[in-house]
Amino acid sequence: MSTPFSGGCRCGAVRYTSKAAPMFAGHCHCRDCQYASGGGFSTVLLVPADAVDVKGKTNEFTVTADNGNQVTRRFCPTCGTPMFSVLSGNPNALVIKAGTLDDPSWVKPAMHIWTKSAQPWSEFSGTLPKIEGQPG
């Protein structure tokens, strides 16, 4: 992948550019990511928050995660695309939904996390490590 990288919501009202490479990429199977993605998991990137420039307004919804931290989900108010998450346990990082990238083909997830919440119909083929909860 090359930096900077960019992405946005489906309707184009929210756009972002990151000037830093992701510190983490993975598939999160926590129950909250299932709600946010509408599927069995969410593929996410973790980047330094101060490296991301966001243009456009997002709405947000905050929940308490399984580990007790607050997760603020940000989404486009026009088309509803889930875009970002901010974690109270790591406020200097921004979680970006990989599906919002202009070119998501370069994403290389390192692992599956929160697999103790994975649905029985989730497919785990391949060799990626499976972590039952939050990685250390």
Spatial CB neighbours of 122, under 8 Å, sequence gap ≥ 6: 29, 40, 41
pLDDT at position 136: 74
Residue 4 has pLDDT above 80, yes or no: yes
Domains of the chain: 22-117 (3.90.1590.10)
pLDDT at position 123: 87
d(CA 33, CA 124): 17
The conformational region for residue 57 under phi > 0 = left, psi -120 to 50 = alpha, else beta, is beta
Average pLDDT score over residue span 112-134: 91
pLDDT at position 1: 59
pLDDT at position 67: 76
Model confidence pLDDT, tens digit, residues 5-62:
999 999 999 999 999 999 999 999 998 899 989 999 999 999 999 999 999 999 999 9
Residue 74 has pLDDT above 90, yes or no: yes
pLDDT at position 2: 65
pLDDT at position 111: 94
Q: Are 6 and 17 in contact (CB under 8 A)?
A: yes
Residue 99 has pLDDT above 90, yes or no: yes
Question: In which residue are the tokens 């999160």 written?
Answer: 28
Residue 87 has pLDDT above 80, yes or no: yes
Cα 25 to the chain's mean position, in Å? 8
Instruction: Find residue 114's DSSP bridge partners.
Output: none
